[in-house]
């Protein structure tokens, strides 16, 4: 009778999942595109694997700085990933050295002859690393890549770049947007969102099953707050998925049409509409080709962009992108702005937004749109909770990751409201 094959320790299931995610990023695949890597894990293991992977990606250069002190040569990528994971667990997450080192050695031994040959080295290096907590605390935050850091310094200076990098290092809490008259758990933010420092399992939070709220960064929620949707208005949400802004517009009582080119991404939008008991017309189409049946009162255009404003929650982005797509994205944003203004009714309003730190995808786009469209007016933001320094000379709203440091930061965004003549 064949004996059952021994199963790996359950805690290693999460670590192995984290290593699969990290390896995927090494190959240029975003974390959001790797759902299959954790498909066989239990929910709690999946959550831990994601936390571990995010921890490593958020601290990869810092870990390498200390590891280099104990390595005569750079090990193979799969070995280096185990060392990085161990270093981050020890120094950033404060895990017990005995358990972390033993787990790392076990992971190496499970990788076949080459892994077993490296196990002793991993053991020795991580034991030394475990004593370097004081040095770890003095390391600077991860630097943004040159293609992003350069433009940020040009726009706001070296000190702001360092502050943004510190915010990226600190990660992101979970923000919630609630329906009118409903409550969301967490701390109330000045702009109307709620914030959870330690959210745990989202679906277990009070009000989730009842559809009282949805997850949405406070900065992203400001785009719809400045759109100011009203009861009965016809509003189009272009590039709508995954749908947080569509939910806001629908919850305000407007008749909203959500348009997105990706049918797959619209699945999540429909699920959230159903959970929250909200209604919207959902259309899978290219916004450059689609036309509404009648000119809408208002349009929200959250345009495709570099997503550089979301690095604090997506630390894999600097590792898989090189900035080469920025010119094409900026060109697409121009065409989408022109298309949106063309379908908007006279006197209607357009809110243009990008989750980007680059002025090429924000301030510069606003200035260019005004040059292309004589008579187009910018309306200066007037919203609860926003600081005067967030409003640009051109009348847009510039949000950065280093704002609200005492509250946990926010995503980087640019938002502008335009009035069609």
Q: How many Å apart are CA 379 and CA 244, to the nearest integer?
A: 23
How far is Cα 412 from Cα 391, in angstroms, rounded to an integer?
13
What's the CA gap between 271 and 211, in Å, rounded? 11
**Angle between the N-to-C axes of helices 77-91 and 43-58, in degrees from 0 to 180, rounded to the nearest 10:** 100
Q: Which of 239, 276, 305, 355 is catalytic?
A: 355
- Residues 6 or more apart from 145 whose CB is under 8 A from it? 318, 321, 322, 323
Alpha helix positions (H), 239-325: 244-251, 263-276, 317-320
Whether 148 contacts 122, CB under 8 Å: no
Collapsed DSSP state (helix, strand, coil) of residue 156: helix
Which H or E element spans position 336? Answer: helix 326-343
What's the Cα-to-Cα distance from 27 to each of 23, 79, 211, 316, rounded to whole Å? 6, 15, 38, 11
351 SS3 class = strand
**Cα–Cα distance for residue pair 344/284, rounded to 1 Å:** 19
φ, ψ dihedrals at 391, nearest 5° = -90, 125
The whole-angstrom separation of Cα 360 and Cα 364 is 5
Task: List for the chain the helix, strand, coil content (%; round to 5).
Answer: 50, 15, 40
Whether 355 is catalytic:
yes
Backbone angles phi, psi at 225, to 5 degrees: -60, -35
Query: Strand pairing of 281-284 and 255-260?
Result: parallel
Instruction: Show which residues are catalytic.
Output: 355
């Amino acid at each position: 009778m064949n004996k059952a094959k021994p199963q790996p320790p359950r805690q290693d299931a999460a670590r192995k999942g984290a290593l699969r995610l990290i390896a995927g990023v090494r190959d240029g695949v975003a974390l959001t595109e790797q759902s299959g890597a954790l498909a066989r894990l239990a929910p709690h293991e999946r959550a831990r694997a994601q936390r571990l992977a995010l921890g490593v990606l958020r601290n990869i250069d810092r870990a390498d700085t200390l590891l280099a002190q104990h390595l005569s040569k750079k090990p193979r990528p799969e070995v280096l990933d185990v060392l990085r994971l161990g270093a981050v667990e020890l120094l950033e997450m404060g895990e017990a050295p005995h358990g972390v080192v033993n787990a790392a050695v076990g992971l190496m031994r499970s990788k076949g002859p080459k892994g077993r040959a490296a196990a002793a080295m991993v053991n020795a290096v991580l034991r030394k690393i475990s004593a370097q907590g004081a040095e770890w605390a003095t390391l600077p935050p991860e630097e943004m890549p040159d293609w992003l850091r350069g433009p940020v310094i040009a726009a706001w200076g070296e000190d702001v770049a360092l502050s943004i990098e510190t915010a990226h290092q600190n990660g992101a809490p979970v923000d919630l947007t609630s329906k009118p008259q409903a409550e969301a758990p967490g701390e109330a933010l000045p702009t109307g969102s709620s914030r959870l420092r330690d959210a745990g399992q989202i679906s277990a939070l009070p009000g989730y099953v009842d559809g009282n709220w949805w997850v949405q960064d406070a900065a992203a929620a400001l785009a719809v707050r400045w759109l100011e949707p009203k009861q009965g208005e016809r509003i189009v949400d272009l590039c709508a998925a995954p749908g947080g802004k569509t939910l806001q517009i629908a919850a305000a009582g407007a008749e909203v049409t959500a348009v997105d080119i990706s049918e797959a991404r619209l699945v999540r939008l429909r699920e959230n509409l159903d959970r929250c008991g909200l209604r919207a017309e959902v259309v899978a189409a290219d916004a450059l080709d689609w036309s509404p049946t009648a000119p809408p009162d208002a349009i929200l255009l959250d345009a495709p962009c570099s997503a550089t404003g979301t690095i604090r929650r997506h630390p894999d982005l600097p590792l898989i992108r090189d900035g080469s797509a920025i010119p094409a994205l900026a060109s697409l944003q121009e065409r989408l702005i022109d298309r949106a203004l063309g379908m908007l009714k006279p006197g209607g309003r357009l809110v243009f937004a990008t989750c980007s730190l680059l002025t090429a995808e924000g301030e510069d786009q606003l200035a260019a749109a005004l040059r292309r469209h004589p008579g187009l007016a910018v309306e200066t933001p007037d919203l609860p909770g926003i600081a005067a320094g967030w409003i640009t000379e051109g009348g847009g709203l510039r949000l950065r990751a280093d704002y609200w440091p005492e509250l946990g930061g926010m995503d980087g965004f640019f938002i502008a409201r335009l009035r069609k003549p």
